[in-house]
Structure 1
Amino acid sequence: MIMQRSTFTASPIALQGHDRFADRMRRISDGLLDEGALLTANLRISGGRAPWFALRVWTGREKTVEKSLDAMGVRTLVPMRKGPDLRRRHRVVPGQMMPVIHGYVLVQMVAQAEYLAGLLGVEHVIDVLGGCDRPMRLSDKEVSRFSGLARKGNFDWERPVHLVVRTGDPVWITAGPFCDRKATVVTPSKKGRGDVVVSIDFMGGEVPVTVPLALLKKL
């Protein structure tokens, strides 16, 4: 007669060690980023130029992601601009610095999927624009131009812009990670300053992005 056990004792393989799964994945991610950052640095030293990519991150965490990646040796950039002035009791409080485009961090990295995938393990990072296998690239020249315009104050909230856009208007994005792409205005602006929301046709889908009015050109 064969006796059958009604119970058994076991433990999940992932829990047998002292490390948590998230900790092991973070170490893998950090290792990939270290390797990718080293290859990128060696490429610059030898006179080459690694492409730039855009990371989509949690809004409000752009500088946090930038600092985290900088600490790992990854070259990053968050172009900043002056935000809206606040008017209180007949006083004008100068606006605080804010990203030119909320929710995005620019990263320079060797264009290999495994290194870009390592970026996804960084806290507050959502994804790589375009995906790790076929990411949207930005040239070093365009990133430098975009950053230079931001430093000059071209995208500051209070800077007057001779442009009026209405909902549904087609526009052209003139700089940044979405440079030279057509978009459609979602929120109108008749103030001649500040931000507007546009919808960008990207990889078969619509991507809503908040951008400075000064970044747009009407078609």
Structure 2
Amino acid sequence: MMQHRGIVGAPIATESKDGFRDRMRRITGSMLDEGALVTLNCRINGGKAPWFALRVWTGRERTVEKTLEEMGVRSLVPMRKGPDYRRRGRIIEGSMMPVIHGYVLVQILGQPEYLTGLQGVEHAIDVLGGCENPRRLSDKEVNRFNALACGGRYDFERRVEIVLTAGDRVLITDGPFYDMKAIVVTPSSKGYGDVVVSTSMMGREVPVTVPLASLEKL
């Protein structure tokens, strides 16, 4: 018991073996389970639930995707062939890697409580655009993006007929930042590979690394 200026009580949860992190994980799981079921019903009844981009720790994209799928939440990390390595005259084929590092696409109804639940998943950071006004992607756009990835459009070594320099204004044509304007920060001088761009969101500049093939010069 603790006493302070006439108030008598006990610290919350100090007598429970259930820690704060465990409780939050359980609440998060319940929210996602509910959101997944509602989303599934929406798809079965002919509706198209929107997709959202969940920002995660780079290198943990597939781990988060697997965790969400185990919870019954439909998620997707479009993949591409990474850069080839050249050693002692030999070319070592590049391994598969996410098209855009640090993001997992998630299909779930857009209620703030469900989106907040996504942030409780291990290795997740936040929802692109925020839980109150998140950036939405249509089912059609996500399917198109994934089909292009599977077809090799974003493979690191694939050459693209576009020349960009730092400061150029571009349009992002695919992926989580679909149809958003951006400024080139670090261009690719080789005609292939990735480009670092900066786009404005919620009053601040957001840097993102995207394939050269997903940009259109304005």
User: Deviation of residue 188 (structure 1)?
Assistant: 2.0
For residues 178-217 of structure 1, what are the structure 2 equivalents within 5 Å?
178-217=177-216
1:100 is matched with: 99
Query: d(CA) in 2 for partners of 1:197 and 1:123?
Result: 26
Matched residue of 2:115: which SS? helix
Query: d(CA) in 2 for partners of 1:11 and 1:80?
Result: 51
Matched residue of 1:114: which SS? helix
For the 8 Å contact 1:165–1:185, the answer to whether it is kept is yes
1:32 is matched with: 31
For residues 81-120 of structure 1, what are the structure 2 equivalents within 5 Å?
81-120=80-119
For the 8 Å contact 1:164–1:191, the answer to whether it is kept is no
For residues 69-88 of structure 1, what are the structure 2 equivalents within 5 Å?
69-88=68-87
Query: d(CA) in 2 for partners of 1:188 and 1:216?
Result: 11
CA radius of gyration, larger in: 1
Query: d(CA) in 2 for partners of 1:10 and 1:113?
Result: 33
Query: d(CA) in 2 for partners of 1:188 and 1:37?
Result: 39
Matched residue of 1:121: which SS? coil
Query: d(CA) in 2 for partners of 1:77 and 1:46?
Result: 22
Instruction: Give yes or no for the alignment of 1:152 onto 2:151.
Output: yes
2:50 is matched with: 51
For the 8 Å contact 1:100–1:150, the answer to whether it is kept is yes
After the TM superposition, which segments of 4 or more aligned residues of structure 1 sit over 4 Å from their partners? none
Query: d(CA) in 2 for partners of 1:116 and 1:189?
Result: 35
Deviations 1:110-167 (A, max 9, x none): 1111111111110000000111111110000100110010000000000011111111
User: Deviation of residue 11 (structure 1)?
Assistant: 5.5
Structure 2 unaligned runs (5+)?
Answer: 1-7
1:130 is matched with: 129
Instruction: Give yes or no for the alignment of 1:12 onto 2:8.
Output: no
Query: d(CA) in 2 for partners of 1:97 and 1:41?
Result: 29
1:6 is matched with: none
TM-score w.r.t. structure 1 length?
Answer: 0.94
User: Deviation of residue 12 (structure 1)?
Assistant: 2.4
| Alignment size in residue pairs | 211
Structural RMSD (CA): 1.1
Deviations 1:151-205 (A, max 9, x none): 0000000001111111111111111111111100001222000001000111211
1:5 is matched with: none
Query: d(CA) in 2 for partners of 1:140 and 1:13?
Result: 44
Query: d(CA) in 1 for partners of 2:215 and 2:122?
Result: 31
